[in-house]
Chain A
Amino acid sequence: MLKNIYFKATLLSIVLLLISCDKDDTPEAENEMEVLNKTVIVVTKLSDDSSETYNFEVEEHDHGNDHSVLPQTQDDDEHGDHTVIELKSGSEYKFEISFLNDTDPNNIIDMTLEVINEKDEHHVHYELAGNGIEIESYSGDTIDSNGNALNLVTKWTTSTAAEIEVEAYLIHQPTSKTGNTRDDFGGATDVEIEFEAHVE
């Protein structure tokens, strides 16, 4: 009985010596390397070659406990409204979309190159809520090994004046590369941005 108590006392003192253990190695920071956190669309009017650049960069939090209200804010707009891309009616525009990782401002990575490298596994789709714009692949676009255009470069042809909401998707491993709605493509969404196309 007594021996046991001595034994425990010894063990306890070992324990008390050990509890001063600290974790000494400071872990290194993890950079989110593959994350596409910025999307850029360069819109060029084909008739006069004038161009404008639209940035979509999102990191917003909404900490209400209400799940039923969706935040629609994106960085490039000052009043919480959608980014608006102004277009003229009866015109042709070139839309060049690119995907960036600018987590480290000193080392901005152009992820569009990865998308082109894995062209069979990616697809860009613009989904429009309304009529008045025709979209097709344009010269300079990437074509995958099955002959499908990726829609990285597209030509937008406007007809009459309209305000159209647009959703742009970068789709990873789409089950199909042909279709009209997002549902037709399957796969997983890597990028989803929203803007309004105002055709005047």
Chain B
Amino acid sequence: MGYNLNTLVPTAFLILMSVGSNYGQFCSTSFEGNIISLEQNIPLESAVVEVIGSNMIVTSNADGYFKLEGLCPDSIIKIKISHINCHDYFREIDLNKSLFENFYLDHKFEELSEIILTDDKINDLSTSSRAFSISELDKERYSDSGLAMLLEKISGVNTLTTGNKVAKPVIHGMFGSRVGIIYDGVMLENQQWGQDHAPNIDLNAFDRIRVIKGASVLKYSGSNPGGLIIIDSRPPKITDTITGKTIINSSSNGRGGSIISSITSTKKSGIFFRSQFTLKKNGDLSSPNYILSNTGSNEKNISITVGKNYSKSNIRAILSYFNSEIGILKSSHVGNIKDLLRAIESDTPGVINDFSYNINYPNQDNTHYTASLDYNYFFDFDKKLGLKYSFQLNKRKEYDLRIGDFKNIPSLDLNLSTQRINSNYTWSNLFNEFTNGIFFELQDNYSTPGTGVKRLIPDYLNTKFGGYFISTLKLNRRLNFGLGFRYEYNSNDVYKYYRNSRWENENYEERLGNYVINEVLSQKLIRKKVIFNTFSSNAGFFNEFKNKYSASIQYNYTERSPNIAEMFSGGLHHSLASIEYGDPFLKKEKTHKILFDFEKNDGKFNFRINPYFSYSDDYILAQPAGFEQTIRGAFPVWEYSPISSIFKGVDLDFVYRTKDNIQFKNSLSWVDAKNYETKEQLINIPPLVINNEIRIISDNFKNFNAIIEHKFVDKQNLFPNNNTMTTVIESGEKISKVVDISTPPDAYNLFNLNLNWGPYNFVSSNIYFGLSIDNVMNKAYRNYLNRLRFYSDEAGRNFLFQIKIKY
């Protein structure tokens, strides 16, 4: 750094101290802004804005707008914002840097007292990328359906599903290891590599959900060119309060329901306690024309947080348990490619039984335990040291339709334990903020033997360590610059059994022969250490102008180590009738990505335009690689292999508010992904999606609002041809037929309705009611991003009734 921090920080402090004396003078600078409810995203009227140390007080008008006049230029003021429904908020404003800001206020019934600035230019994420927050109302509405479905509200975010309950987020056309989920500061470690492995996380255990599209947040990870989902709970207040919330959901489709409840107790002494649980159950879901047999699911989660806030430090411990049992559509279990062909040619699933709550085979049983300990210490003025230890244990069992003694034995039984310790140190002054940190992680994967099926994922021990440095600099009044680096060392100590036939076919003897440590039956066991060093960086400019526009450009360079599945998987996917193999010689994946963002955030009409472009070398993709003959017939083989890829896309968001509290929202996302060399399209890239929404908040019926949603999903016309041929006997003759696994399903329109009533006072608590109808028209459709789309339609109409009690 070009200057001495030790002298600069006290200087800034002195400037702050001298502010008060300036108020007596006559000045003509003004500071203005809007105050907006974070929960409902509507303007807050009658919020009081006060300049501390003066007698200057203004209130916000019906549009949430306020203006402070007669301020002195280039000074620093301290303001306090208060509103009857919200906690008081204090902040310093440097008039040299900013004359306009939007403030988002949280409601009091939440245990939070924080305001989020619309722009995250200086925040805990230290990135010049833009964060998208999910409103409390949406979070509650999707409390039953889960995280991935909720995130679909954000433009550029899609979900890749396996049936109806297994859903994983896709950001800018990337998913799996390319999208990270950070919960309470910890990277979620579960079997994220598989397409049918949904994140084991309960969104209801957290207060705040943010999405960083298309960029890594180097503080947490350097290997997520797709983006990051950051979920956390906010620090509690230091007062004597007990708050809580209970949501009861009841849905018609699947005849299911859930109870979600949390309670938070805080003390003046700084001690706080929070506990939360979720119980969910549903039976077989229904498509418009038939029951989707064996699609029931159960979920039970609990988390407990205890901690204490001291004047200069805080400590927090979290324990959580997550368990989900998910039935997989019965008819999606096929024996071979002819079965798959039969399913594709049939309009209805091969098995339709009566409605049932029973979960039979195939199914998945996932359990995730987390324990973490946090400690933060605040030095002097704006310096903070954080330490964190976390332990995660993820158990995953997958049951297939099997015969004989193995009927009740899982065909996949994985135990993944991860321990991580990290530190971070942040120092800042009025102009700049710097954070650095180091981490160390140890991850052990163990497959319980005796499944009678070869391990899909080999046993391994992964060791990772590294460090990062990130900075956010204010270059002048309007221009910010962010810069960050992250280095990771990543070593996998892998034990992998290869079948001799595969070994010979791939000619592994030459390159892996030295690593063979054992030979049994028709298999060879190798032990190999696979080591990667990755170096990721990003840089971005963020500029505000004319008080209402902002523009940013960001460049990200991401190096991602191949994950264990990409290198070493080997096994049969029943629903796709295909065999998947890893490539043990993959190199790290290198992605250059440029994101632009242009937005207007003022007045009745707001917009955000967000185009992006990326180029990757050694982009790892599963591709067709011939056939393997088994006693069940010939199976297509898919192998992970490196390609060069280009992604280009755009996300658009428009919001228009009328005076009468009616809000129109429109968002569009489009992405095109190709193999750079062959120009072939990549598989599973989301089609064009357009979301429209009308939100009506009635003045006459104060306690009512309605949201009408329309979603258009186009037919994906950009897809690779991975079709195969097979022969079948028809009318006594043997003929060849195409197994069309490539052609995406038709475009569709969906309509949803969401009505909310409340709050109503009832014994010192507030009660809210909600009624949602999803798929109002009961449209039968198939979704390109559902891996089971060959077998059945998506779920049909659902009525969801919600009771929310906040106390």
Which residues of A come within 8 Å of B, CB atoms? 1, 4, 7-8, 11-12, 14-15, 18-19, 21-23, 25-39, 56-71, 73-74, 103-104, 111, 114-115, 117-118, 121-122, 127-131, 165, 167, 171-173, 175, 181-183, 186-193
A32 and B626 form a contact (CB under 8 A): no
A30 and B451 form a contact (CB under 8 A): yes
A171 to B: closest C-beta gap in Å: 8
A70 and B634 form a contact (CB under 8 A): yes
Q: Which 9 A-B pairs have the closest CB atoms?
A: A189-B335, A23-B461, A33-B452, A114-B404, A188-B335, A60-B629, A192-B633, A129-B734, A29-B520
Residues of A within 8 A of B497 (CB): 27, 29-30
Residues of B within 8 A of A131 (CB): 732
A68 and B725 form a contact (CB under 8 A): yes
In the bound complex, how far is the Cα of B631 from the Cα of A38, in angstroms? 7
A74 to B: closest C-beta gap in Å: 7
At the interface, yes or no: B454 with Cβ under 8 Å from chain A? yes
A129 and B732 form a contact (CB under 8 A): yes
B730 to A: closest C-beta gap in Å: 7
B626 and A26 form a contact (CB under 8 A): no
Contact of B725 among A12, A67, A104, A171 (CB under 8 A): A67
Contact of B438 among A11, A68, A172 (CB under 8 A): A11
Residues of B within 8 A of A8 (CB): 423, 438
In the bound complex, how far is the Cα of B546 from the Cα of A124, in angstroms? 77
Residues of B within 8 A of A122 (CB): 403
Task: Say whether, besides A127-B729, A182-B729, A62 and B627 are in contact (CB < 8 Å).
Answer: yes
In the bound complex, how far is the Cα of B720 from the Cα of A67, in angstroms? 13
B403 and A121 form a contact (CB under 8 A): yes
19 pairs from A and B in contact (CB 8 Å cutoff): A21-B442, A26-B527, A30-B449, A30-B450, A32-B452, A34-B452, A58-B631, A59-B630, A61-B502, A61-B505, A67-B636, A67-B723, A73-B629, A129-B734, A165-B729, A182-B729, A189-B334, A191-B632, A193-B631
B442 and A31 form a contact (CB under 8 A): no
Contact of A58 among B421, B493, B630 (CB under 8 A): B630
Interface of A is mostly: loop
In the bound complex, how far is the Cα of B734 from the Cα of A115, in angstroms? 28
- In the complex, the chain B residue whose C-beta lies closest to that of A12 is B438
A23 and B493 form a contact (CB under 8 A): yes
A19 and B463 form a contact (CB under 8 A): yes
Q: How many chain B residues touch A (Cβ–Cβ < 8 Å)?
A: 80
Contact indicator per residue, chain B 313-350, by CB within 8 Å of chain A (1) or not (0):
00000000000000000000111101100100000001
At the interface, yes or no: B8 with Cβ under 8 Å from chain A? no
B630 and A26 form a contact (CB under 8 A): no
At the interface, yes or no: B406 with Cβ under 8 Å from chain A? yes
Contact of A28 among B425, B449, B732 (CB under 8 A): B449
Contact of A37 among B493, B518, B631 (CB under 8 A): B631
A70 and B725 form a contact (CB under 8 A): yes
Which residues of B come within 8 Å of A, CB atoms? 6, 333-336, 338-339, 342, 350-351, 385, 401-406, 421, 423, 425, 438, 440, 442, 444, 446-447, 449-455, 458-461, 463, 465, 489, 491, 493, 495, 497, 501-502, 505, 517-518, 520-523, 525, 527, 624-634, 636-637, 722-730, 732-734
B732 and A187 form a contact (CB under 8 A): no
Task: Say whether, besides A21-B442, A175-B351, A187-B350, A111 and B404 are in contact (CB < 8 Å).
Answer: yes
B454 and A34 form a contact (CB under 8 A): no
Task: Say whether, besides A18-B440, A188-B401, A32 and B453 are in contact (CB < 8 Å).
Answer: yes
A58 and B342 form a contact (CB under 8 A): no
- In the complex, the chain B residue whose C-beta lies closest to that of A188 is B335
Residues of A within 8 A of B722 (CB): 67
In the bound complex, how far is the Cα of B630 from the Cα of A13, in angstroms? 52
Contact of B522 among A103, A172, A182 (CB under 8 A): A103
Residues of B within 8 A of A192 (CB): 335-336, 338, 631-633
B636 to A: closest C-beta gap in Å: 6
B732 to A: closest C-beta gap in Å: 6
Task: Say whether, besides A19-B491, A38-B631, A59-B629, A11 and B423 are in contact (CB < 8 Å).
Answer: yes
- In the complex, the chain A residue whose C-beta lies closest to that of B636 is A67
B140 to A: closest C-beta gap in Å: 41
Residues of A within 8 A of B727 (CB): 70
In the bound complex, how far is the Cα of B726 from the Cα of A192, in angstroms? 13
Contact of A15 among B438, B454, B631 (CB under 8 A): B438
Residues of A within 8 A of B421 (CB): 11
Residues of B within 8 A of A167 (CB): 729
B425 and A61 form a contact (CB under 8 A): no
Task: Say whether, besides A21-B463, A30-B451, A67-B724, A172 and B629 are in contact (CB < 8 Å).
Answer: no
Residues of B within 8 A of A33 (CB): 405-406, 452
In the bound complex, how far is the Cα of B335 from the Cα of A193, in angstroms? 13
Task: Say whether, besides A58-B629, A186-B350, A191-B631, A23 and B444 are in contact (CB < 8 Å).
Answer: yes
Q: A127-B729, A192-B631 are in contact. List 18 more A-B contacts (CB 8 A).
A: A26-B525, A29-B523, A29-B525, A30-B449, A30-B451, A32-B454, A33-B406, A34-B406, A70-B634, A73-B629, A114-B405, A130-B732, A165-B734, A175-B350, A181-B730, A182-B729, A188-B335, A193-B631
Residues of A within 8 A of B625 (CB): 63, 65
In the bound complex, how far is the Cα of B722 from the Cα of A37, in angstroms? 27
B725 and A23 form a contact (CB under 8 A): no
- In the complex, the chain A residue whose C-beta lies closest to that of B383 is A1
In the bound complex, how far is the Cα of B729 from the Cα of A44, in angstroms? 26
In the bound complex, how far is the Cα of B660 from the Cα of A70, in angstroms? 65
Residues of B within 8 A of A193 (CB): 631
A190 and B632 form a contact (CB under 8 A): yes
B29 to A: closest C-beta gap in Å: 36
- In the complex, the chain B residue whose C-beta lies closest to that of A14 is B440
Contact of B521 among A14, A31, A74 (CB under 8 A): A31
A34 and B729 form a contact (CB under 8 A): no
A144 to B: closest C-beta gap in Å: 14
Residues of A within 8 A of B463 (CB): 18-19, 21
Task: Say whether, besides A28-B449, A34-B403, A39-B631, A129 and B626 are in contact (CB < 8 Å).
Answer: no
In the bound complex, how far is the Cα of B624 from the Cα of A118, in angstroms? 36
In the bound complex, how far is the Cα of B633 from the Cα of A27, in angstroms? 30
In the bound complex, how far is the Cα of B403 from the Cα of A37, in angstroms? 14
B518 to A: closest C-beta gap in Å: 7
In the bound complex, how far is the Cα of B528 from the Cα of A11, in angstroms? 28
In the bound complex, how far is the Cα of B450 from the Cα of A7, in angstroms? 46
- In the complex, the chain A residue whose C-beta lies closest to that of B517 is A26
Residues of A within 8 A of B442 (CB): 18, 21
Contact of B634 among A21, A25, A65, A71 (CB under 8 A): A71
A30 and B336 form a contact (CB under 8 A): no
- In the complex, the chain A residue whose C-beta lies closest to that of B449 is A28
Contact of B449 among A27, A57, A58, A117 (CB under 8 A): A27
Residues of B within 8 A of A187 (CB): 335, 339, 350
- In the complex, the chain A residue whose C-beta lies closest to that of B500 is A59
In the bound complex, how far is the Cα of B403 from the Cα of A121, in angstroms? 9
Residues of B within 8 A of A12 (CB): 438
In the bound complex, how far is the Cα of B723 from the Cα of A37, in angstroms? 26
Task: Say whether, besides A15-B465, A189-B335, A64 and B626 are in contact (CB < 8 Å).
Answer: yes
In the bound complex, how far is the Cα of B455 from the Cα of A103, in angstroms? 16
Residues of B within 8 A of A175 (CB): 350-351
Residues of B within 8 A of A32 (CB): 452-454
B633 and A189 form a contact (CB under 8 A): yes
Contact of B459 among A27, A34, A60, A189 (CB under 8 A): A27
A155 to B: closest C-beta gap in Å: 20
Residues of B within 8 A of A59 (CB): 501, 629-630
Q: Which of A23, A31, A35, A167 counts the most chain B CB atoms within 10 A?
A: A23
Residues of A within 8 A of B725 (CB): 67-70
A118 and B632 form a contact (CB under 8 A): no
In the bound complex, how far is the Cα of B452 from the Cα of A165, in angstroms? 34
A30 and B632 form a contact (CB under 8 A): no
In the bound complex, how far is the Cα of B738 from the Cα of A54, in angstroms? 31
Residues of B within 8 A of A65 (CB): 624-626
Residues of A within 8 A of B726 (CB): 70
In the bound complex, how far is the Cα of B252 from the Cα of A24, in angstroms? 51
B453 and A172 form a contact (CB under 8 A): no
